[in-house]
Structure formats: structure tokens, C-alpha cells
Structure 1
Amino acid sequence: MPRPVRVLPAPGTFTLDRNTTVSGDTAAGEWLRRHVGAATGLPLAEAEHGDVRFRIAPEKIAVPEGYRIEITERGVRAEAHDESGAHYAAQTLRQLLGADAWRDSPVRRGPWPLPCGEIEDHPRFSWRGCHLDLARHFMPKREVLRFVELLAAHKLNVLHLHLTDDQGWRVEVPGLPRLTEIGAWRKGSQLGAGPHAGYVDRPHGGYYTESDLTEIVAHAAEHRITVVPEIDVPGHCQAAIASYPELGNDPRRKLEVWTGWGVSEHVLNAEESTVEFFRRVFDHVMSVFPSPVICVGGDEVPPHEWERDPRSVRRSEALGLSEPARLHGWFLRRIIDHLHTNGRRALSWDEALDSGERPPTGCIVASWRDEAAGLRAADAGYDTVMCPEQRVYLDHRQSDDPDEPVPVGFVRTLEDVYAYEPVPAESPSSVFQHVLGTQAQVWTEHLDSPSRVDYAAFPRLCAFAEVAWSRSAVRDFSRFRARLESEHLDRLTAFGVEFRPLEGPMPWQKRPGVPGDPR
């Protein structure tokens, strides 16, 4: 899982044992030795001509990230287009070894058989992402590393980290200490959603040091995942303004890091000093994250402060803008140009299309409000990532049962997620060529612990991974569910994932009395 392009079973097995050796010109052998070796207790020693061989062979495997595995009674041969393909071949072998191969230490001596046959596989989309919101609820570094491994196990290759918002700033920036001394902490948190939401009077916060983020990036690279960081501007910035009031539109007003959910009306001012402040932030982000893509946010930017603030009105006039609301696009353009000048590509949410200034050529548009926004972006020549909230927001409720914890958003069942088609069949070819792929979203307003993230994400993220990897012609929900129930949930259990059972939440996964806001 996700389902390969072609599987050709054959009789017999090849069994891994203490004498099994591994060889090849890729990092996949070392990954197999470290992770599968730890689970099985087998040394999987390196040898010149191993029983399990990995080889990079783009002349044979034409599609990027593709691979081919042949398992016979004599051994395993895995050929791949590139290092990513070799890694996915190793992930596939771990799945074939059974659930206990997903553990950190051995729970049995073996045997460890692999079924004979051939597997040919490659992805449909180059961007197979998952967004994780660390701003609303901080997750310890060890949990982010674990989440990376779960994405890789499902052949997802982009981790989009939402690192700043009104409710918290999670990135240590040299020379700007108040961003984490003040912006990383809030006094409490809204509990639930809707008009009857409550409040938890308990401080919350945390942030990642430069070393933490470097470790996350390195761990992700080992698992063939690109980490795309997001610093959200010019809205969703209350934590930054609370840290440095001069960034806001009324520096005399002392804001606090927001304890509620939703969209704060407090946005950045449009002074050159504020642009320069965030250039400095993005320079640091670029030094830590080697990703070719950096997200600038750009979503949900209310113009009310600019419209009421005489300084902002004068600033918009001086810039030749028809109205203060267009400061949104002006600010985004300044940051995006800075990223592009430094050899990176900006990713913005789809509001950038309506911000008053078209995004520069080369900007990627993440279509979250609906699929139409992504189609509009693609039609205008922008590469796009499809991530509509109506289809792939995994924090939304999984059923309309009253026991569903914190019932927010749309009902999106496992089958709903599996049925998602990122590129509508009627789309013209010009749209197809600009859709880089798709991304699931995990927002954490109502996911206040790693176990709650597990519950919301799995097993729906398994379904999404198959949407992103496998072509729609080979997808069949009844067969997917059978594979899930017969084998894959056991793998998740062995890995320690606190997923939502298919029949509904366990008693300890419910949140009685916490109000929601269903749509």
C-alpha cells in the first residue's frame, strides 16, 4: 500500500535469515539494514554480491521514483530509476515481510519470508504531500520524526510544515529572540468550536531550534521526503506582532499570542522595515531548509486594519494601489521576489490569485478553498497543488455520529478520501500539465496531542496516499479496504499508530462535551 502498478505473483518464497546479505549502489540497503534489521534482529550484512541487491538503473526504469522488484527463491533484485525509487522498493519489501517488520525491536525470531514474484511500480504525481500544522498545537521533535517515517512508509514525498500562525511561532531565528520568547507561547487555548466553544486555562507552546529543524530535514531526506516550511504572511501573524509590536498597524497596542481559533484581524503593516524583517526571517529559513520550495502563506488576510489605519491608507496611495486591500498582494510579491532571487520557488495559498497583484511567474499555487481555484491557477499558467478542504482536510470529522470527537468541518469518510480525483476527468490537457500533485491537510486546532493527530490522519492518509500514487484506473475501494483490514492496520498497530478503527472511535478516543462546528 499504495497499490503498485503491476504485481505478478510466483510460487515459492525467499526467506531472510542471519546469513542474508545486502548490496547495491544506493542508500536503500543501509535504510533496510537500520530499520528492517532492527525489527527482525537480522544483521543484513553488506556484501559485494548480496542476496538482496539494489541498483540504480534509469536506463531500465524510465519513470522518476519508479522501481522494479524481482523476488525468487535465490534472492531479491531491486532496480530503480533513482534513489527515491530504491527507497520505495525497500519500503515495499518491509510491507511484504509483515507487520512485525514495522517494529523498533524484534518480538520474534522469524522466519521472515518474502513471497516470490515481480512488482513494477511508479507514482502518478511528483508532489504527494501532507501538511502538518505545528503552530496551533506544538508537537515534540520526536513526534515530527515519527510522522516523517509514516509518510515515507506510504510513499508520500512532501512534508509541508506550518510553522507560524496567530496562535504560535515555532522557528528560532537568530537575532530575533522575542519570536520564540514571546511568540512561541500562549496563555491558554480555545476548546472545541462554534458558539459554545470552551477554554483551557493552561499555557501551551514550544519551538524548534535550528538544530532541531536541521535534524528533521536530515531525517526526512533519509526517507526521500522534502520538507517545505511555511512562514505565513501578511496575515495569520498575531504571534509575530505580539513579539514585535512595530510589525503591526498600531504599535501602541500590546497584543498577546491569540488563544482562539479562526482568523485574526491583526495583519502586518506595509512598511519597508516590516518587509525587511521578514526577508531576514526567510533568509534564515532558506539556510535551514534546502527545499527548492518555500511557502509564504498568503491566505485569509482581512484588510480591515489597513482600511482603518491612516498610515496604511497613505502607504497604499504612495505605492499607486487602488485600495488598501491590495497591500496583501504587494507584500506577498515582495517576499516571493526575494525567494525567487535566491533561487527558491514560492508556494502560496490560492488567495494569492485574488490579492490585488498576480503572483510572479514560477510561483506554485496551493488550491485549498476549492478545486476551481486550482483549475483557475493552472489555466493561468501556474503550477498547482490540489488540496481542497472539501475533500482532503483530515482534521474534518470522519462521520456524522455524535460520538465523533470534536465534530468540525465536512464529513469525510475513508471512502470519500479514497474517491478523490485531483484532476477532474473533463480538464483540458493544459490543466493536467500544471497539476504537480495533491496534498492532504492536517490542521491542529482540535488535535492537541500526537494521538489525536494519529486518529485524524489514519487510516484516511493511507487512502490519500493511494490517490496520490496510483492511477485512478487501478483504484478499487472494496479491495483497498480488504488490504487495509487484512494486513495494513496490523502494520500501523505494530508501528504504534493510534488510528481510528473502521467501525468508529474507541471509548478513550471520544471527546464528550467538547463542542464542534459541523458543516
Structure 2
Amino acid sequence: MADYSLETSWRPVEGSFGRLTFTLHNLSAEPLSGFSLAYTSETRVADKHVCDGASLKRQVAHFHEFLPSEQLTVPPGGRWRFTVEGLSREPKHVTAGVKSAYLTLADGRHLPVDFGDLMLEGRDGGVSPPLLPPGKADEPYALLPWPLALGLKAGDLPATLYPAERTRPDAIEALSQVLSLYQRLYPVEDAPFSLRAVEGGRRIRFVAESSIAAFAYELRFTAHEIVLSSADEAGRRYGLISLAQLLHGARADGERFKFPNFGTIADQPRYDWRGCHLDVSRQFYPVADILRLIDILAWNKLNIFHWHLTDDEAWRLEIKAYPALTEIGARRGPDEVLVPQLGDGAETRAGHYTQDDIRRIVAHAASLGVEVVPEIDIPGHSTATLLSLPELADGQEAPDSYRAVQGYPNNALNPAVEFTYEFLGKVFDEIVALFPSEYLHIGGDEVAEGAWLSSPLCQALMKREKLAGTAELQSYFLKRIKAMLSERGRKLAGWNEVSHGGGIDPDGTLLMAWEKPAVGIELAQQGYDVVMTPGQAYYLDMAQAEAWAEPGAAWAGYSPPEHSYTYEAEGELPEALQEKMRGIQACIWTENFISRAYFNRLVFPRLPAVAEAAWTPSGRKDWDRFAAIVRMWPML
């Protein structure tokens, strides 16, 4: 426990976004004076604000530093209270408050401060509803995602499943990989497979069947064996995962779930892009966590891991040509170039992935049929990049001439600085050597309105190329980036704003529609391949209910698990454009994930819900069945 504790509350105020009250308690045995209080919070103080009892010394995006009056001394057991009115948005949930706090003393020391969730005053916060019903499975089989077709009769529970005699080595290797996956996810449970015949077990016979569609599989259960037919490695793996799931459910909840003795399963995915995105810039996740998340994706038959490696808050990928990117850009702290953000306190927090880490993660994902798509977020969201390599900026551009929606000033790579392209070329060279994915995601989102317009170099570029405004400058930049990726044998993926200002050539371009569902239809009409990832349904950082006590973000409303499950991403997409719809993706943005408990509360069961929406035809989905099964599924 720290010697200091900070309590925060919010009260609605007519005509504004309300008033924050901060109360710092001195729990130490010494009086406190000559200090400043720093904290991080997504509820930012606006430029125009009124502060009673303190003054704002410094603010950088979510980082705030307040000063008391010079003569203030807080005695042992005493407190300092101040209020702020004039906020960037109205807080909606407990997680909209302080995410970290510390004191800086006159001698430069930084002392930790305990803190809690944001308290609500002057209004009823509502009641959090249950996020899952008890669930009911009319067909007693634990399968997620639910298969395309199924006709089964339950029977006795086998001791284990094992390969038939003379099974090919590649099939035994596939069975061994799924066995290892299960043992990592459920380390204390009995193994579903054995590599040798076991008395009381059931044998699996593997059949290569060229008439079966890619990624599909068929399972036939008879009195003596299980026949697993597929045309490719992926289909075989999905069939083995389904067998492991069936056995797991029958063992874990034998009253509700059974193992089939007779019948068939015919299954294949609805979409070919079934993705999950993870932001590791706001919060860093060690290699072990990344490997486990990929295991969870494979268990849920998701096949894309979209890895958001850079943002304003940090650059997480080792680039040997530019070591400063991680030496500076992967470190945040009171005495670092990057100030604390979103959970950083008195101690420096640092973390990045070495290229050996990347190779290990990519290989692990590939062994499970998961493609790793890296994202380097450009031209916006580049504060960490620009502070690591200041030569990327136009030195004549006025500081704080524009701000991103998150509050970062001048945070976009300048399209008129030629070093920008030299830098990105070397970065891309190293990325394509590490990631075999056909796509490289370049972000392209949330460039601030008015970005670059005070840059003399951009003014000259606009005149020379006959460009008007920020969006056309971005289009110019992204066209050059697409050409650079094409030269390296890669396709460009990006967020939906890539289409702005004239966009880029849709051929070979994949865009993710995140702002609202209708955007995906507009992109398809423009000729882009589309992945649907609307914040209103598939952003797993959104709160799951309207109640104040629910953790999460609020900009896209709230999204209970049932909504993520039942939502139909295709919407009103005309049949003529169906081929442009590549699939769907869940996104895990980590501003609110300052604990493992919050991560699991927000991501599960919504991630398996999106996985079933990506795999299972709409007419085969059943919310009550899903709720009965998903309780047994693994979390991080």
C-alpha cells in the first residue's frame, strides 16, 4: 500500500460535461508540501476549464499534472481536495477515471499513489444486468463455433481418442499439435487424445478427400471409429479441435453435454477472414500472453491475428535500422521522453518485442493455422515515432498546430519530408522479412483535421501536386506507401479512412470498416475488399451495459455479448457486392485494460461470440446454446 491515496468522483453539471473532484489523502507520517500530482485518465481536461484548489501545470493527451497552491501543506492524516470543470467528454463508466497516479516532490523523487475507480455523485448509476443467461443446449454437444450441419446420437464417453493403425505421420503430427494446444489451455484436465491405442478409447481414421472444400471437414461417428475427412491441413485441424471440444464438454458437464456415438458433422467457415486484433501500444503484453491469446484464437477457429504494434503511446517492434524506436519509443515514465499514459505510474514502464520474439510468435501461430498481420500505424498515431526520430518532423511547422482526437499534438508523419519514405522503406524491409502475411496493415486512421497545413514543406507539396487539404495529402502519402509495399510483394491493409481524399487503388487493398456499419457498404461500392469490424458490435473495449459500474469505453455506446453474437455484419450489403466482404474481426483496444481482470471481463465471452459469428451461418446461430457452452471456454 502506498503512503498516498487518490479518490476521484464525477458529478453531472447542467450545460457542461460535469465536474471532477479529486481528493488526495496523506497516509504517511510526514507532512506533504512542495509537490505536484500527476495522473493518467481518458477523461481529459479541456483547454478551457475552471479549476478550484489547484492549477494545471502540464497535459499531454491522457497525462495530467496539477499543482496545489504554493503555501499548501497536507498534514499526516490530512487531505487536499480540488475540482475541475471543463472536460473533453462526459464520463459514462467507472473506468473513465484515474488509471495511474504519482507525486513528484521538490527533490525530483516520484512517489506512487493508490487510486480507485471513478465514483458517481448526484445520479443513479443503474444496475449491471447479467451478461450471460443460464443457457440451454437442445443438442447436447459442446461445439464453438457451431458447425454448418450436424446429425448425431449421443453415446458412451470414450476414455480418449487415438489414431488408427498405419495413420500417416503428418496426421499424427496434426493430432499431436491439437493435443498440445488443449494441454496448454486446460493444463489440469485429462488429455482428449493419445498417440497410441488405449483400451476404452476410440480410434480416429484420417481420410484425404479432395471433393471437400478448402478449410472444411467432415466427421463420421460409428460404433468402432471416428472418420475425419478433409482436403487440406486446415480442415483436418478444425476437425481435431471439434473432437477435442466435444470430449471436453462431455467431461466438464456430463449432465448437459455428451459425446456422439453415431452420426455426422459437416462443417466449413462462413468467412475466410476471421480475425482478432490486439493493441499492444497502450498496454504491453509479454510473449507468453501473446502465445496464449493465439492459442485461444485457434481453439475458437479464428485464423487472423492482427497485431497493432505501434501507436502514439509506444513503438513495440525491434527495428535494427532504427534502435531509437524501442530505446525511446517503447519506454514511458516520469523522466522518459514519452510521459506516462494510461496506467503508467511513478516507475518507468517499458516493453518491446525482439525480432527473435516475432519469429517465435509467427511460427507458433502458423503451426495453428493463424496468420499474423502486423500493423504499423501511419501517418497518424505516430507520437512515439516522432519523439524517437525527431528528424522526421518539418522543423518549420508550428508546435501544437493540430491535435489528434486523443489529444496528441502534431502526431502524424509528414508526407512532404522525404526522410519519411526512406525511414518507412527500411522499416518495411525488416517487417516483410519477419512476417510472411500477404498483408501489411498501415493504419491510416484518425489523422487530425488540419494536420500538416502549417507545415511549409506540405504547403509547397500541395502547390506542386495540386492537393487541397489534409485528406488529399494523406491520399498522396498512402499511394506512395502502397507502391512501396507492392515493390516488396505485400498488399496494403488499413482502416476505413484510407479511402478519404481520393483514397488509393482498391485493387489489392483491404480496408477495415470500424466507424459504423454503413461504412463497409460504402467501401465495397468503391471497389475495396472489406473486413467488418464496427465499434458498435466488435470492439471488445466497449462497455457491455449502460450501467456506471460496467468497465469499458463508451464512444460507440455499449455492446452486450448477445449483441456481438447476433449482429449480422453484412447488413444491407447488396448481393452483387458479397464477394467484397472478406469477413469480420474483433478488436481489442487496451486503453481500459489496466488489469488482467478487466481484460478477461471485457474480452470474454465476446471474443468467442464474434468467432461464431465469423464461422457459423446466421440461421444456425443460437444464443442460448452459445451461452451454455461458452462458460467452459478458456480466458487469457
Task: Judge same fold: TM > 0.5, yes or no.
Answer: yes
Q: Is 346-355 or 10-19 further displaced after alignment?
A: 10-19
Maintained 8 Å contact 1:249/1:306: no
Aligned to 1:414: 561
Q: Is residue 226 of structure 2 the alignment partner of residue 226 of structure 1? A: no
Q: Per-residue deviation at 1:11?
A: 4.6
Structure of higher CA gyration radius: 2
Aligned to 1:195: none
Q: Which blocks of at least 5 consecutive residues in structure 2 are unaligned? A: 1-143, 334-338
Aligned to 1:142: 288
Maintained 8 Å contact 1:166/1:264: no
Q: Per-residue deviation at 1:359?
A: 3.7
Maintained 8 Å contact 1:248/1:266: no
Aligned match of 1:423 in 563, 570, 588?
A: 570
Q: Is 354-363 or 464-473 further displaced after alignment?
A: 354-363
State how 1:397-476 maps to structure 2 within 5 Å. 397-409=543-555, 410-424=557-571, 426-476=572-622
Residues 440/263 of structure 1: CA separation in 2 closer, same or farther (3 Å cut): farther
Q: Is residue 452 of structure 2 the alignment partner of residue 306 of structure 1? A: yes
Aligned to 2:631: 489
Q: Is 221-230 or 179-188 further displaced after alignment?
A: 179-188
Amino acid at match of 1:52: I
Q: Is 368-377 or 131-140 further displaced after alignment?
A: 368-377
Maintained 8 Å contact 1:156/1:465: yes
Runs of 4+ aligned residues of structure 1 deviating over 6 Å after TM superposition are 251-255
What percent of counterpart residues are identical? 35
Aligned to 1:388: 534
Aligned to 2:322: 176
Q: Per-residue deviation at 1:343?
A: 1.9
- The alignment's C-alpha RMSD in Å is 2.8
**Residues 483-503 of structure 1: CA deviation (Å, up to 9, x unaligned):** 33xxx31243xxxx26xxxxx
Q: Per-residue deviation at 1:90?
A: 1.1
Secondary structure of residue in 2 paired with 1:448: coil
Q: Is 306-315 or 448-457 further displaced after alignment?
A: 448-457
Secondary structure of residue in 2 paired with 1:490: coil
Aligned match of 2:221 in 57, 61, 71?
A: 71
Maintained 8 Å contact 2:218/2:239: yes
Q: Is residue 147 of structure 2 the alignment partner of residue 4 of structure 1? A: yes
CA distance in 2, matches of 1:69, 1:419: 27
Maintained 8 Å contact 1:168/1:205: no
CA distance in 2, matches of 1:352, 1:440: 20
Aligned to 2:382: 237
Aligned to 1:205: 350
**Residues 256-285 of structure 1: CA deviation (Å, up to 9, x unaligned):** xx9x95555421112222112111111111
Residues 53/351 of structure 1: CA separation in 2 closer, same or farther (3 Å cut): same
Q: Per-residue deviation at 1:400?
A: 1.7
Structure with more helix by fraction: 1
Residues 225/101 of structure 1: CA separation in 2 closer, same or farther (3 Å cut): farther
Residues 402/42 of structure 1: CA separation in 2 closer, same or farther (3 Å cut): closer
Amino acid at match of 1:400: E
CA distance in 1, matches of 2:193, 2:560: 42
Aligned to 1:82: 232
Q: Is 220-229 or 70-79 further displaced after alignment?
A: 70-79
Maintained 8 Å contact 1:249/1:305: no
Amino acid at match of 2:310: T
Q: Is residue 393 of structure 2 the alignment partner of residue 248 of structure 1? A: yes
Amino acid at match of 1:268: L
Secondary structure of residue in 1 paired with 2:229: strand
Q: Per-residue deviation at 1:40?
A: 2.8
Structure with more strand by fraction: 2
Residues 35/366 of structure 1: CA separation in 2 closer, same or farther (3 Å cut): closer
Maintained 8 Å contact 1:19/1:44: yes
Maintained 8 Å contact 1:66/1:81: yes
Aligned to 1:52: 204
Q: Give the length in aligned residue pairs.
A: 468
Residues 274/214 of structure 1: CA separation in 2 closer, same or farther (3 Å cut): same
Aligned to 1:105: none
CA distance in 1, matches of 2:428, 2:196: 42
Secondary structure of residue in 1 paired with 2:158: strand
Q: Per-residue deviation at 1:137?
A: 0.6
Q: Per-residue deviation at 1:85?
A: 1.1
Maintained 8 Å contact 1:13/1:116: yes
Aligned match of 1:98 in 248, 255, 258?
A: 248
Aligned to 1:501: none
Maintained 8 Å contact 1:440/1:461: yes
Residues 182/190 of structure 1: CA separation in 2 closer, same or farther (3 Å cut): closer
Q: Is 327-336 or 227-236 further displaced after alignment?
A: 327-336
Amino acid at match of 2:578: F
Residues 345/390 of structure 1: CA separation in 2 closer, same or farther (3 Å cut): same
Q: Is 324-333 or 10-19 further displaced after alignment?
A: 10-19
Amino acid at match of 2:493: L
Residues 446/42 of structure 1: CA separation in 2 closer, same or farther (3 Å cut): closer
Amino acid at match of 1:53: R
Aligned to 1:160: 306
Maintained 8 Å contact 1:245/1:252: no
Q: Per-residue deviation at 1:42?
A: 7.7
Secondary structure of residue in 2 paired with 1:267: coil
Amino acid at match of 2:443: G
Amino acid at match of 2:364: H
Aligned to 1:328: 474
Maintained 8 Å contact 1:353/1:359: no
**Residues 351-372 of structure 1: CA deviation (Å, up to 9, x unaligned):** 0111344345211111111122
Secondary structure of residue in 2 paired with 1:228: strand
State how 1:340-419 maps to structure 2 within 5 Å. 340-409=486-555, 410-419=557-566
Aligned to 1:215: 360
CA distance in 2, matches of 1:18, 1:131: 34
Residues 404/445 of structure 1: CA separation in 2 closer, same or farther (3 Å cut): same
Residues 237/130 of structure 1: CA separation in 2 closer, same or farther (3 Å cut): same
Amino acid at match of 1:90: L
TM-score, length-normalised on structure 1?
Answer: 0.83
Aligned to 2:423: 277
CA distance in 2, matches of 1:101, 1:307: 64
Residues 374/400 of structure 1: CA separation in 2 closer, same or farther (3 Å cut): same
Secondary structure of residue in 1 paired with 2:492: strand
Q: Per-residue deviation at 1:19?
A: 7.5
Q: Per-residue deviation at 1:31?
A: 1.3
Secondary structure of residue in 1 paired with 2:577: helix
Q: Per-residue deviation at 1:17?
A: 4.4
Q: Is residue 465 of structure 2 the alignment partner of residue 319 of structure 1? A: yes
Aligned match of 2:268 in 122, 128, 145?
A: 122
Q: Per-residue deviation at 1:345?
A: 1.2
Amino acid at match of 1:80: S
Maintained 8 Å contact 2:218/2:267: yes
Q: Per-residue deviation at 1:41?
A: 5.3
Residues 267/491 of structure 1: CA separation in 2 closer, same or farther (3 Å cut): closer
Amino acid at match of 2:219: I
